[in-house]
Amino acid sequence: MPELPEVEFARRQLDAWMPKKKIVAIEVFDERILRGASVKSIERALVGDKVLDVARRGKWLRITFDHETKLFSHLGMSGHWIERTADAPAERFERVRLTVAHGRKKSSVRYLDMRLFGRFVVAQEDIPEWSALGPDPILDGIDPAAFAKALRSRKRTVKEALLDQSILAGVGNIYVTEALFRARVDPRSRTNTLTDAQLKAIAKGVDASLRAGIALTAGEELVYLSEERGANPFEIYGRGGKSCPRCKKTVLSRIVLGGRTTVFCPHCQHLT
């Protein structure tokens, strides 16, 4: 599920389900999600506390409680949140359940994660993983000067740089593919060779592809990554070997960059 648009979708869900409610129970069905922290410590920190708000930065979620406690949630590759009645049967891949109450009314907010790459951290302060994030393109926008400086400081491929969460927070493999297609920049281009016009186009492409992703997820359950997914809604992600939707005549290339499958149009996207 989770790049910035999908995590934003999760944030909106949690924001509808949790604020002003009190945590009355926490169940952890697979402790590996805690990465060594104990269930007891988390119970002690959160049970009885009231949810104040739910924030997102990049791909991280942060639920803030009264008494200054914070619960951080990263969805990894397959994490997502659902709401059920308090007594509904356990779901497949359910890893954590927060039972919340508003007066006498109870409900459960559940974290599901097939692959268990996600994680939970409870802390009193913002954790380093959260604080080290670069600007969030939707929350902060992309400052041209800072973006140019961050990219040109090293000479990785532009694809790898955009996947670096300290440069921009929230972009992952789907949206970097989409953004570079929109910007007409070859993902193999080195960051130190990009022109000002290309940097501007990349920033615009990131913003546009993320906003398109958020629009896709708005209101409805995600269709494209759920079990009964519909048609691929992306311009070129997942379309390697098919013809380019822009120039029509070129076959989209599929290579590996930074360990990730990368699709691009060798005709429309220029290598610098």
Partner DNA sequence: CTCTATGTTTAATT
Partner DNA sequence: GAATTAAACATAGA
Active site residue 89: no
25 part of the interface to DNA, by CB under 7 A: no
Q: How many residues bind DNA (CB under 7 A)?
A: 32
Q: Which stretch binds DNA (CB under 7 A): 19-27, 113-121, 178-186, 195-203?
A: 113-121
Segment contacting DNA by CB under 7 A, of 18-26, 39-47, 148-156, 195-203? 148-156
Residue 108 and residue 102 in contact, taking contact as beta carbons nearer than 8 Å: no
Question: Nearest approach, Cβ of 72 to DNA (angstroms)?
Answer: 12
Which of 62, 97, 156, 188 is the binder for DNA (CB under 7 A)?
156
- Catalytic annotation on 260? yes
Between vectors from CA 267 to CA 264 and to CA 271, what angle results, nearest 5°? 75
Identified catalytic residue from 57, 59, 110, 188: 59
Q: Which of residues 5-24 bind DNA (CB under 7 A)?
A: 6
Structure tokens at 35: 């990465």
> With contact defined as beta carbons under 8 Å apart, do 172 and 250 qualify?
no
Site of tokens 């619960």: 71
The residue range among 70-78, 83-91, 200-208, 244-252 that interacts with DNA, by the rule CB under 7 A, is 70-78
Side chain identity at 265, as an amino acid letter?
C
User: Closest by alpha carbon to 49, among 95, 15, 99?
Assistant: 99
> Which residues lie closer than 8 Å to 14 by C-beta, 6 or more apart?
54, 61, 63, 81, 109
Residue 3 is among the residues annotated as catalytic for this protein: yes
Q: Is 187 in the site for DNA (CB under 7 A)?
A: no
The active-site residue, picked from 2, 5, 137, 187, is 2
Q: List alpha helices for 153-266, DSSP H.
A: 158-163, 173-183, 196-217
Nearest residue (CB) to DNA, 130 versus 147 = 130
Pairing of strands 51-57, 105-113: unpaired
Closest of 234, 244, 236 to residue 210, by C-alpha:
234
Q: Is 27 a catalytic residue?
A: no
- Does residue 36 interact with DNA by CB under 7 A? no
Binding site for DNA (CB under 7 A): 1-3, 6, 32, 58-59, 74, 76-78, 114-117, 129, 154-157, 160, 163, 165, 172-174, 225, 227, 258-261
